[in-house]
Amino acid sequence: MEQEYIAIDATASSPFRVEALHYTPEVSYDDGITFILLHAMNLHKETYHVLLKHLLGSRSSPPALRIKDAWCIENPTTDVVQSSTKSSYPRQNTREDVRTSLDYAKAIHSFLGSTAHGVDFRTRKLIAIAHSGGSTSLMMLQTLEPKFPFKAFVFLDPAILPPTLPSSKVLTTMFGGWAASKKDTWPSRADAFAELSGHPAYKRWDPELIKLFVENALRPLDSSGAVTLACSKIHESTYYDSPDALAPPGEIYISIAKEDAIPMHVIMAKKDEYRGKTDEMKQFQAEHAQKMKDGSVQWLDRGGHMFPQVEPVLAARSIEKALLGISAVMSKL
């Protein structure tokens, strides 16, 4: 699997520098699938590395999926992306530095429509994969013109909320509060790695992904060697507080399910870390995906909400199963 770093500058439609990682499997099919991957809030484009090693590195013959390549696009909430180098020290964030799911959608749209990378994504067989908060941005991407011809959407424990249920507001408030109160600074990357490796929220992760998080989700705080979250607490909390985090993604999700033109495959944790608070959201997602002719729902017994990081091999096999199980979808590819 080859890996290439690509970045495009800000444009009139998206005021953000956009970074991406391009992964090409050892065996790449010209007529194969191009995956577009959106990561969760507070993570980074490298977080899919282990999952992609298994999804793109399948040794089955004939191949389970004919894959051309994969593109992991960075959310512009990360100050590292908006800095010219990783050694610079961005100014402190303020409440005016709001980031929304629409911002990520605009960044993706700008990247897909750019000519800087030399790829015409309109001619590709596109399948989007989105985890957690990245799923709301995938929904908001559908509001932007020109549209890109996605063949399917794969959601990994998505944060797409039922538009009218009181529990949805409870969740956005809860997620925003957690983001605002989390620890965000360490004396060094070594200290961060040591602490996170033993932290309940991170220690279950694949060890390679903890290392990649420390390398890519943290930025220098100053010249002392101290580091802080590249996606600041303010960026993350305002993401959940923004108007387009609640009703619009859910409304778009319902509309896509009704139109039944782009299959939606939802892969969810049967048990997560939120003690039942996400049950209504998950039932909402499952109900609409199951109504689709070519939609599907999978419930995973292990890994929790962060199963792409905790169980990346299981996540890869589940994605493969979702796409293989829909013969009508594959015939269109």
Q: Which tens digits make up the pLDDT trace of 26-67?
A: 999 999 999 999 999 999 999 999 999 999 987 665 678 999
Residue 92 pLDDT > 70: no
| Contact between residue 291 and residue 257 where contact means Cβ atoms under 8 Å apart | yes
Q: Which pLDDT value is given to residue 90?
A: 46
What pLDDT sits at residue 89? 46
pTM listed for this prediction: 0.93
Q: What confidence score (pLDDT) does residue 332 get?
A: 54
Mean pLDDT value of segment 262-288: 95
Model pLDDT, residue 93:
42
Are the C-beta atoms of 277 and 165 separated by less than 8 Å?
no
User: What is the band of 16 on the pLDDT scale with cuts at 50, 70, 90?
Assistant: confident
Please give the pLDDT value at position 68: 96
H-only helix segments in 182-326: 189-197, 207-216, 233-241, 247-259, 279-290, 307-310, 312-324
Q: Is the pLDDT of residue 277 over 70?
A: yes
Q: pLDDT value at position 51?
A: 98
Q: In the prediction, which pLDDT does 179 show?
A: 87
Express each pLDDT in 204-221 by its tens digit: 999 999 999 999 999 999
Helices (H) and strands (E) in the chain, counts: 13, 11
pLDDT of 327 above 50: no
DSSP strands (E only) in the chain: 2-8, 18-24, 33-38, 67-73, 125-131, 150-156, 185-186, 218-220, 227-229, 264-269, 296-300
Q: What pLDDT band is residue 325 in, cutting at 50, 70 and 90?
A: low
* Span 79-97, average pLDDT: 45
Share of the chain above pLDDT 70, in %: 89
User: What is residue 159's predicted lDDT score, i.e. its pLDDT?
Assistant: 95
Supply the pLDDT for residue 84.
Answer: 40
